[in-house]
Amino acid sequence: MSGSTPSLVCRELRLRQFRNFEELALEIPSPGVAVIGPNGAGKTNLIEAVYYLEVFRSFRGANDEQLVRFGADTFFVRGLFEDPGTGESREITAAYERSTRRKRVTVSGVEPDRIGDALGRIGVVVFSPSDVALVAGAPGERRRFLDIVLSLNRPGYLAALQRYRQVLRQRNALLRDGARPAALEPWSRGLVEAGARVVAERAAWVAGYAAAFAARYAAIGDGGTDMVYRPSAGGGDLSGGVDAVEAVFREELERVAVRERERGMTLVGPHRDDLGFLRQRDGVDLREFGSGGQQRTAAIALRMVEADTIREARKRSPLTLLDDVFAELDPERSRRVLALLDEDEGGQVILTAPKASDVDPRGGALARWRIAGGAVQP
């Protein structure tokens, strides 16, 4: 959006024993690059490696062991990023050893006390065909999306989420053991305190970006669709901040207390909330009744508001990764998506596609590289 500065630029990317790459060293142009190659050549693996340096986990849901090349024990990923405005550089590395299950991360040569302290040092948004699961998949997919976006861009969110998960595990263990209400009460208080912060942040993000989401969805060309937050502790006003959410959450816990003891689990809270995408003309949820095209449009619009969040939080455009995102879109919708991306994005773009096309960002200005069998030819 206007007022944002360019993204950090990935100047160098080095991979060793990562997925199907035995050894790879690339120098990437400042505007970015289009990587062209057939399915199975390693295009998505390349995108995955760049994004790994932002969150230190696969955006495809793979565990670290699955990222190690077959027959190897350790993978290594290194990225050198530069601020085009100041010239300041930042090296980020990640390594994982299968035999010891140890992960090591460094930022500019320094290993943080916790990996969480190194998250979000780049500002990356990835668009992928698998994003359709954000709309059509289970609620956990959408909760994971919200948690990643807010953990990387809202100070204090990650700590509240981690605290909530810790309390939830302990409270569920007590419920399974048939603990009395008096024994549960301290954990219920902790659940409400941490959980209210999580819900309030999620609800505020959805409310703040709902109009932008609807505008992006409409611009791609599929009518009107609204994004709404669906709390499991419903029936109350979530717009009043943490205190208001605490009151709603506490009341709902009291209401379901008997059922929780019967079932041995916590039945309300952010771990059971959801994100909905509702057609404006009839209120139908796209997850259940939307067409494939509508679901893909909503997923792309959702990634676009994730990019908006990065711009607002970091005052810079994100580094944009486009992994074969136009394969399942018709030509007209692809052109509209590209027009929006070109309008919004001032940062570096790394795009993958199975074949060269005249439909790509920056009006065809990106360098084109070929990839085959884990080898890249600039």
> For the chain, how many structural domains are there in total?
1
Q: How confident is the model over 269-327, as pLDDT tens digits?
A: 999 999 999 999 999 999 999 999 899 999 999 999 999 999 999 988 999 999 998 87
The tokens describing 17, both together, are 């024993």
Residue spans of alpha helices (H) in 129-237? 133-136, 139-153, 157-176, 181-220
Sorting pLDDT into bands at 50, 70 and 90, what band is 373? confident
Contact 309, 1 (CB under 8 A): no
Sorting pLDDT into bands at 50, 70 and 90, what band is 378? confident
3-state SS class at 371: strand
- Residues 106 and 343: their CA atoms lie apart, in Å, by 34
Q: What is the mean pLDDT of residues 89-105?
A: 97
Give residue 236's pLDDT.
62
- Residues 234 and 270: their CA atoms lie apart, in Å, by 11
Q: Torsions phi, psi of 348, nearest 5?
A: -70, 145
Give residue 360's pLDDT.
66
Give residue 358's pLDDT.
53
Q: How many CB atoms lie within 10 A of CB 80?
A: 17
The answer to whether position 268 is within a domain reads no
Q: Sort 257 into a burial class: Cβ within 10 Å, 0-12 / 13-18 / 19+.
A: middle
Sorting pLDDT into bands at 50, 70 and 90, what band is 356? confident
Instruction: Provide the domain limits for residue 346.
Output: 1-123+316-378
Q: How confident is the model over 46-80, as pLDDT tens digits?
A: 999 999 999 999 999 999 999 999 999 999 999 99
CATH number at residue 6: 3.40.50.300
Residue 362 or 89, more confident: 89
Q: Is the pLDDT of residue 87 over 90?
A: no
Question: Which amino acid, one-letter code, is at 307?
Answer: A
The answer to whether position 65 is within a domain reads yes
Give residue 53's pLDDT.
98
pTM of the complete model beyond 0.85: yes
The answer to whether position 24 is within a domain reads yes
The answer to whether position 84 is within a domain reads yes
Q: Which residues pair with 24 in a beta bridge?
A: 15
The tokens describing 34, both together, are 């289009």
The answer to whether position 62 is within a domain reads yes
Give residue 2's pLDDT.
43
Q: Which residues pair with 27 in a beta bridge?
A: 12
The answer to whether position 6 is within a domain reads yes
Compute the half-sphere exposure of residue 249: CA atoms within 13 Å on the CB side of its CA: 29
The answer to whether position 77 is within a domain reads yes
- Residues 191 and 326: their CA atoms lie apart, in Å, by 42
Instruction: Please spell the DSSP secondary structure of 214-233, one letter per residue.
Output: HHHHHHHTS--EEEEEE-SS
- Residues 347 and 138: their CA atoms lie apart, in Å, by 32
Give residue 238's pLDDT.
77
Contact 332, 221 (CB under 8 A): yes
The answer to whether position 348 is within a domain reads yes
Contact 93, 105 (CB under 8 A): yes
Q: How far is CA 105 from CA 68, 94, 282, in A?
A: 16, 4, 48
First to last CA, the chain: 31
Give residue 347's pLDDT.
85
Contact 246, 192 (CB under 8 A): yes
Q: Sort 176 into a burial class: Cβ within 10 Å, 0-12 / 13-18 / 19+.
A: exposed
Q: How far is CA 224 from CA 127, 134, 217, 294, 343, in A?
A: 21, 18, 7, 10, 21
